[in-house]
Amino acid sequence: MRLSPHPYIRLSSVILLVPSLATAISLDCSDVRDDGVSFNFRTLEGPHSLYRIEKQPNGIKTTTFTIDICRPLEKQKGVPKEEDCPNYSRACAIKRLDNTVENVTTIIETIPIAGEFSHSFGGALDPKWTRLKSSASNADKVKEGVRLEMNGGKDTDGQKQKAIVEFLCNNSTRDGMRRDPRVAEDEEDDGAGEGGDKKGEEVDDGHGGKLKLVSWDVEEGTKVLRLDWTTKYGCEDVRDDRKSSSSGHWGFFTWFIIIAFMGVAAYLIFGSWLNYNKYSARGWDLLPHSETIRDVPYLFRDWMRRVVNTIQGGGSRGGYSAV
């Protein structure tokens, strides 16, 4: 009998999918930990876009950078495949030309910068988190925050791409906390720049922080998109107030229920033991106040009757019953 090769093909496909699944699981923005310090960026999930404008002889070229640190970018409805970011992208760039002479807009190129493309056209996402204070660079040691490096992208010419995002502590939204001096210097220099339109290269993240486009240049053979994200979630001692409050309330009620349950259980066990040893009780008589416990269903039934009678009232007889 000849065996079908299909089971082996399916098995090999599953084996090939394991690395990508492991990579997807490893990039958990809600549980970032490096050098014993934890960060939680779940609040910053969702797509965030910046854009760079360059003047051309025949119009304006706009490069839109979109990134989502928590999950792959979703496909846009009604947008052609060649004009949207590829599947499994975490960061991508879309170049478009607004031709002011012919009054038309053309998509020049869609470039996946980072994502899980190891089974398609690029490489693995291979995410890496690095606490800045633990970095080998002396310039990073004075910063407070964490760096995320994502890989896998490649443009149509085969140029490798990757994204590096630095989450820098920004305490400006919290009273009594010191800000990172380097972040303050960067904000003061935001208005400065040589050439080009700087609009769109820095945007609010909707949570009191700012996302800034630093550069997109070739470094050691790889084109690197560098972003600075100043946010309170980049601080090492920050806590999610909503999460802390919620977990605190649940913790109180949980412990209250546990203690109450253990108290009732201890009372019943001790009372049963006492009745057994003192009165040689059996069955229901073992329980303390067993007669009251047996009467509970009847007491509840009588109470419900009174409630129903009170709600219905005495009808048209002024509270008197018919004889």
pLDDT at 271: 84
pLDDT at 135: 87
Between residues 89 and 80, the one the model is more confident about: 89
Query: What are the beta bridge partners of residue 106?
Result: 97
- pLDDT tens, position by position, 267-283: 888 888 888 888 777 77
Q: How many CB atoms lie within 10 A of CB 320?
A: 8
Of 56-60, 86-90, 123-127, 243-247, the one with minimum mean pLDDT is 243-247
pLDDT at 82: 80
What tokens appear for 296 in the block? 């509970």
Domains and CATH numbers, the chain: 6-238 (2.70.130.10), 264-317 (no CATH)
Between residues 197 and 216, the one the model is more confident about: 216
pLDDT at 202: 94
Beta strands in the chain (DSSP E): 32-34, 37-39, 48-56, 59-67, 89-99, 104-115, 128-131, 145-154, 160-169, 202-204, 210-219, 222-231
Does residue 61 surpass a pLDDT of 60? yes
Q: Which amino acid is at 99?
A: N
**Using alpha carbons only, what angle is made at residue 193 by residues 142 and 216, rounded to the nearest 5 degrees?**
70
Taking the mean position of all CA atoms in its chain, how far away is CA 201? 24
Which 3 state secondary structure label does DSSP give 224?
strand
- pLDDT tens, position by position, 137-195: 888 889 999 999 999 999 999 999 999 999 999 876 544 344 444 444 444 444 444 44
Query: With bands split at pLDDT 50, 70 and 90, how would you rate the model's confidence at 242?
Result: very low
pLDDT at 173: 53
Average pLDDT over residues 68-74: 94
- pLDDT tens, position by position, 89-127: 999 999 999 998 889 999 999 999 999 998 888 899 999
Does residue 266 surpass a pLDDT of 70? yes
Q: How many CB atoms lie within 10 A of CB 201?
A: 18
Query: With bands split at pLDDT 50, 70 and 90, how would you rate the model's confidence at 22?
Result: very low
Please list the helix, strand and coil fractions of the chain in percent, rounded to the nearest 5, in that order.
35, 30, 35
Instruction: Output DSSP code: residue 199.
Output: T
